[in-house]
Amino acid sequence: MSTTTTTDQETVSKENARFWDELCGSQLARYLGISDSSPQSLKKFDDWYMDFYPYLDHHIRFDDLKGKKVLEVGLGYGTVSQRLAEAGGLYSGLDIAAGPVNMANHRLRQNGLDGKATQGSILAPPFEPESFDAIVAIGCLHHTGDLQAAIEQCRLLLRPGGRLTFMVYYAYSYRRWIQAPRDTLAYARYELRGERGVVGASASRHRAAYDKSISGEGAPHTDWISKRSLAELCSSYSRFDSKLENADAIWPFRFLSRKLLLKTGLPGILGLDLYATATR
Ligand SMILES: C[S@@+](CC[C@H](N)C(=O)[O-])C[C@H]1O[C@@H](n2cnc3c(N)ncnc32)[C@H](O)[C@@H]1O
């Protein structure tokens, strides 16, 4: 619903490079008592991460990526980066912030894996068109400040038939209805008028409910989107599919464990995250 001007975009990108330098997942690492990046510590982090998102394997399909040129966009703590390289993908990583790039390269070196992570933005990617068979972007494109342009840049980087697998935040999740009812209602009205796009401008506390630094600061920019609008943003791809996942046990589900909640129908209808596959 919001538009981002060039100057706004420069500011968002600069803010992203600063904010995300603290690895996304740092709070979790602290909670797990991890203070170094030894193989043992990173394994502890990764085991927790893959257990917390049990459907990731299904969406990323690591086993299909052996021998394929894979680009990961938005690296964070590097769990997926390492898995992609271990699965035999010819790995390249891209992140706007230095911290995640250093972590991904550290993981590759530490495990004797090929591949390289580079600092840069998906909005101006430092790669030739049609360089990749697959692109994986979990929880990244909605932070760039221009989801539509990020999706288009990914398309240009894919060879014909190549596949983009990504996760963005769902605009009509139960969490959004509870935490940001006015914004969610305004977005529903916007879509009812036949318009398509993202919930752009948002309060810092709403962004912090999804991504927060150790000091409590919210991410500089976050978009939420519906299934229908996301399909529209991916209309230049030949094929598109999406599925809702994820839930957390906030009110009114406090009495349930998250594991149990994931087994109910809730994530599939009002889940937090939208996983999508778009084929060029
Ligand atoms: C929420 S983290 C997700 C990290 C990881 N994929 C995960 O699932 O834990 C978002 C990541 O996207 C990166 N990012 C944000 N804007 C970007 C841009 N324009 N280009 C590339 N990476 C970007 C951030 O630096 C950060 O590492």
Q: Please give the mean pLDDT across all residues of the chain.
A: 96
What pLDDT, on the 0 to 100 scale, is given for residue 263? 92
Of 254 and 141, the one with more pLDDT = 141
What is residue 149's predicted lDDT score, i.e. its pLDDT?
98
pLDDT value, residue 253: 83
Kindly state whether residue 160 falls inside one of the protein's structural domains: yes
Which tokens go with 70? 């894979």
Specify the pLDDT at position 2.
53
- Say yes or no: CB of residue 121 within 6 Å of ligand 1: yes
The total number of structural domains that make up the chain: 1
CA 239 – CA 278 distance, rounded (Å) = 6
Q: Is the CB of 100 under 6 A from ligand 1?
A: yes
Does the C-beta of 73 come closer than 6 Å to ligand 1?
Answer: yes
Q: Tell whether 228 is covered by a domain.
A: yes
pLDDT at 177 exceeding the cut of 60: yes
| Residue 51 lies inside a defined structural domain of this protein | yes
Q: Does the structure show a pLDDT above 70 at 30? A: yes
Q: Which domain holds residue 93?
A: 6-279
Whether residue 1 lies inside any domain: the answer is no
Read off the CATH number of the domain in which 271 is found: 3.40.50.150
Q: Which residue, by CA, sits nearest to atom 4 of ligand 1?
A: 76
Q: Which residue(s) pair with 33 in the sheet?
A: none
Give the residue carrying structure tokens 């957390």: 248
Work out the average pLDDT over 13-21: 98
In a domain, 149, yes or no: yes
pLDDT score, position 5: 62
